[in-house]
């Protein structure tokens, strides 16, 4: 999908559609408004100003329309605009994780069911997962505005209508409680948790990002990927959220094959591993990811032993 002169994105998963860069000609064809934001880099290749929220949204909308063949995608002002290649990597690495529980084969099709905690207004994981692997999703959120946007994306794309169910989490202190039903089975859960502990902390990070991009700090709060309060911060920050998720997960130990969650700050990993010990998770993994100079990871844990993984696979994904 890349061509000579495209903007290189290194370190992405081998199955990532944008691992070799962006074909701006194709992206502008998919979403013409992107053309207003494309400029030539000093090295003679096209790029955008990543400090410009409008440019970032236009680029990621073009990526979604081009690669994932959507008929419609948009998000309201103030909601998180996902960096598509990085979010797609989570899906691809999760597919590799499920492969290890499925006789070395990637399980595909709508019978593969994932729970997307905090699906947000953008529905990025259901979009990528259903397109790449045919998976079905249950997306949850505590924010009605986010779910309204996600529903508009779902109903605006025939490819998503049969692959996404949305559920409101009405109890904001809970993560799995109140959205996992007694009859549910999920092959994996996934989550992009709030990173910050307060609005002040998220504003500080946004301004630091501007400085790193060589831009003057804005007079008002403006982040290149935007984001609503519930998407960006929670009491105790990322660490408290993930630890709460781990604690709740043991109540659904037999209904989920793999629990997973992104962890932005590697310094949080020791405390998260202590939380795994407390709930007696049977197996724990940290899956590294990278995009250019940015490193990230997600943690995965299961309460099922090897024999139970085989039984799950035989029941959920029987050999043809």
DSSP conformation letters of 24-84? HHHHHHH-GGGGGT-EE-TTS-EE--TT-HHHHHHHHHHHHHHHS--S-----TTSPPP-H
Return the minimum-mean-pLDDT range out of 58-67, 90-99, 210-219, 251-260. Answer: 210-219
Is residue 162, in this structure, part of any structural domain at all?
A: yes
Return the minimum-mean-pLDDT range out of 50-54, 177-181, 242-246. Answer: 50-54
Chain-wide mean pLDDT for the chain?
86
Is residue 6, in this structure, part of any structural domain at all?
A: no
Q: What range defines the domain where residue 128 resides?
A: 24-316
Is residue 17, in this structure, part of any structural domain at all?
A: no
Q: What is the pLDDT of residues 255-279, one digit of tens each?
A: 999 999 999 889 999 999 999 999 9
Q: What is the pLDDT of residues 37-55, one digit of tens each?
A: 999 887 788 999 988 889 9
Q: What is the pLDDT of residues 85-142, one digit of tens each?
A: 999 999 999 999 999 999 999 999 999 999 999 999 999 999 999 999 999 999 999 9
Coil vs helix vs strand at 320:
coil
Number of independent structural domains in the chain = 1
Is residue 4, in this structure, part of any structural domain at all?
A: no
**CA–CA gap between residue 24 and residue 254 (Å, rounded):** 46
Is residue 176, in this structure, part of any structural domain at all?
A: yes
Give the pTM. Answer: 0.87
**CA–CA gap between residue 311 and residue 262 (Å, rounded):** 27
Q: What CATH number does the domain containing 35 carry?
A: 3.40.50.150
Is residue 225, in this structure, part of any structural domain at all?
A: yes
Strands of the chain, DSSP E: 39-40, 46-47, 113-117, 136-141, 164-168, 186-191, 256-262, 283-291, 294-302
Is residue 8, in this structure, part of any structural domain at all?
A: no
């Amino acid at each position: 999908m890349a061509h000579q002169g495209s903007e290189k994105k290194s370190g992405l998963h081998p199955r990532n559609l944008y691992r070799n860069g962006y074909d701006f000609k194709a992206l502008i064809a998919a979403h013409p408004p992107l053309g207003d934001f494309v400029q030539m880099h000093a090295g003679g290749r096209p790029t955008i100003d990543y400090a410009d929220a409008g440019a970032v949204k236009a680029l990621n909308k073009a990526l979604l329309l081009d690669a994932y063949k959507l008929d419609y995608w948009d998000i309201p002002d103030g909601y998180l605009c996902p960096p598509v290649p990085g979010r797609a990597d989570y899906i691809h690495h999760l597919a590799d994780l499920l492969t290890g529980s499925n006789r070395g084969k990637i399980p595909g099709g709508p019978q593969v069911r994932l729970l997307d905690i905090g699906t947000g207004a953008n529905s990025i994981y259901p979009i990528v997962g259903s397109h790449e692997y045919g998976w079905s999703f249950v997306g949850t959120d505590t924010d009605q505005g986010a779910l309204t946007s996600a529903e508009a994306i779902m109903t605006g794309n025939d490819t998503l209508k049969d692959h996404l169910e949305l559920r409101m989490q009405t109890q904001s202190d809970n993560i799995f409680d109140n959205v996992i039903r007694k009859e549910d089975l999920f092959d994996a859960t996934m989550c992009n948790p709030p990173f910050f502990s307060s609005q002040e902390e998220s504003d500080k990070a946004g301004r630091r990002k501007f400085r790193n991009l060589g831009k003057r700090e804005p007079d008002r709060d403006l982040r290149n990927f935007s984001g609503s309060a519930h998407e960006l911060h929670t009491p105790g920050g990322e660490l408290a959220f993930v630890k709460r998720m781990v604690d709740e997960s043991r109540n659904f130990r037999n209904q989920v094959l793999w629990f997973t969650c992104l962890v932005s700050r590697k310094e949080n990993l020791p405390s998260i591993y202590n939380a795994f010990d407390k709930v007696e998770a049977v197996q724990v993994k940290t899956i590294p990811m990278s995009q250019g100079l940015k490193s990230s990871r997600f943690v995965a844990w299961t309460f099922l032993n090897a024999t139970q993984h085989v039984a799950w696979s035989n029941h959920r994904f029987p050999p043809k």
